[in-house]
């Protein structure tokens, strides 16, 4: 690793804390999926609303409001995790929420499942695993 | 069903803005200490959260019209931006592991979107 790359880091991050940060973000993707489930319930009423009506709807429609509160909780946890991890690892990990959202869609909204979607889920999990397992070490 | 250009633009701008918000969240997160003022007067966190809100509104608007097969890959471009921003602002190296991980995630999300047709 290029020594200049670490010179701006305020302190060397302990590997156990790095792993905790990765775990927190992965666990919090469940919150994102829950939030998106609620937002989907609320957003169906907004398909033809303008930008301003959408803004008001976030406060007026209970499902949208609850969904955004969960997003808020996720953001707090994400900020906490960012203190001990690399942004370039932690941010893409949020993609795991696609897996939960797709499963929720199939179970709650009776969306169809097909081989292409299933393959997509598997590849996302593989990508998250590569980042989560390989990125924790802090090097190549 | 076709995807309006306006939806594509909304989602694309939303994902880029979201990745920029993450930069502010990270730099703000490092400024937090035990004093409450370090959170209350943390302008970086405020900007980060603000950009997240803006990108969420753009997503809700963009996603309400259009095909997921087109819009999902645009959302995941935010992850690619993040690799660049992280290197630029936090000197985080772009490693093969990160490129492989983000590449797989991009392919997976594209497959999901295509499967959603």
A47 close contact with B: CB closer than 8 A: yes
Mean pLDDT of A10-22: 80
Beta-carbon separation of B94 and A88 below 8 A: yes
Tell me: the pLDDT tens digits for B73-117?
Answer: 888 899 999 999 999 999 999 999 999 999 999 999 999 888 876
Residue range A98-124, pLDDT digits in tens: 999 899 888 888 888 899 999 999 999
- pLDDT of B21 > 80? The answer is yes
Kindly list the residues from chain B whose CB atom is less than 8 angstroms away from the CB atom of residue A106.
none
pLDDT band with cut points at 50, 70 and 90 for residue B11:
very high
Domain ranges within chain A, ordered by starting residue: 15-134
A123 touches chain B (CB under 8 A): yes
Higher pLDDT, B67 or B77: B77
The answer, yes or no, to whether residue A9 has pLDDT greater than 70, is no
Q: How far is A36 from chain B (nearest CA, A)?
A: 10
CB-based contact B57 A55, cutoff 8 Å: yes
Q: How far is residue B8 from each of residues A31, A50, A131, B12, measured CA to CA in Å?
A: 26, 16, 28, 6
Both tokens of residue A113? Answer: 């499942």
Report how many Cβ contacts below 8 Å link chain A to chain B. 161
What pLDDT score does B76 carry?
86
Alpha-carbon gap: A82 to the closest alpha carbon of chain B (Å): 6
- pLDDT-based confidence at residue A47 (cuts at 50, 70, 90): low
Query: Looking at per-residue confidence, does B54 or A4 come out higher?
Result: B54
Of B61, B65, B86, the CB nearest to A51: B61
d(CA A20, CA A85): 9
What SS3 string covers A7-32? CCCCCCCCHHHHHHHHHHHHHHHHHH
In angstroms, the CA B69 to CA A28 distance is: 25
Q: Measured between beta carbons, which residues in chain A are less than 8 angstroms from residue B52?
A: 71, 75
ipTM of the complex: 0.90
| Chain A residue with minimum CA distance to B82 | A88
Checking B44-48 for CB contacts under 8 A at 24+ apart, the result is B45/A79, B47/B21, B48/A79, B48/B21, B48/B22, B48/B23, B48/B24
Looking at the structure of chain B, the number of domains it has is: 1
CA atoms within 13 A of residue A41's CA, in its CB half-sphere: 15
- Nearest-CA residue of chain A relative to B66? A47
What is the pLDDT at residue B46? 93
Please give the residue range of the domain that contains residue B85: 5-115
- Asked whether the predicted pLDDT for residue A7 surpasses 50, the reply is no
């Amino acid at each position: 690793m290029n020594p200049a790359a670490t010179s701006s880091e305020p302190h060397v991050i302990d590997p156990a804390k790095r792993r905790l940060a990765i775990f927190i973000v992965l666990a919090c993707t469940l919150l994102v999926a829950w939030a998106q489930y609620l937002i989907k319930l609320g957003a169906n009423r907004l398909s033809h609303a303008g930008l301003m009506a959408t803004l008001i709807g976030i406060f007026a429609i209970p499902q949208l409001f609850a969904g955004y509160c969960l997003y808020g909780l996720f953001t707090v946890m994400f900020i906490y995790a960012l203190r001990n991890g690399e942004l370039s690892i932690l941010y893409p990990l949020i993609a795991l929420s696609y897996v939960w959202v797709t499963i929720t869609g199939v179970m709650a909204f009776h969306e169809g499942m097909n081989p292409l979607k299933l393959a997509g889920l598997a590849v996302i999990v593989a990508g998250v695993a590569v980042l989560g397992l390989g990125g924790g070490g802090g090097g190549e | 069903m076709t995807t309006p250009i306006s939806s594509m633009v909304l989602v694309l701008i939303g994902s880029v803005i979201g990745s920029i918000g993450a930069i502010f969240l990270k730099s703000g997160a490092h400024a937090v200490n035990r004093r409450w003022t370090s959170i209350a007067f943390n302008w970086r966190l405020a900007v980060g959260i603000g950009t997240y809100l803006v990108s969420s509104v753009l997503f809700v608007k963009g996603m309400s019209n259009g095909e997921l097969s087109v819009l999902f890959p645009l959302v995941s471009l935010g992850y690619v931006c993040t690799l660049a921003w992280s290197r630029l602002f936090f000197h985080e190296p772009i490693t093969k592991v990160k490129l492989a991980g983000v590449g797989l995630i991009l392919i997976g999300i594209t497959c999901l979107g295509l499967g959603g047709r």
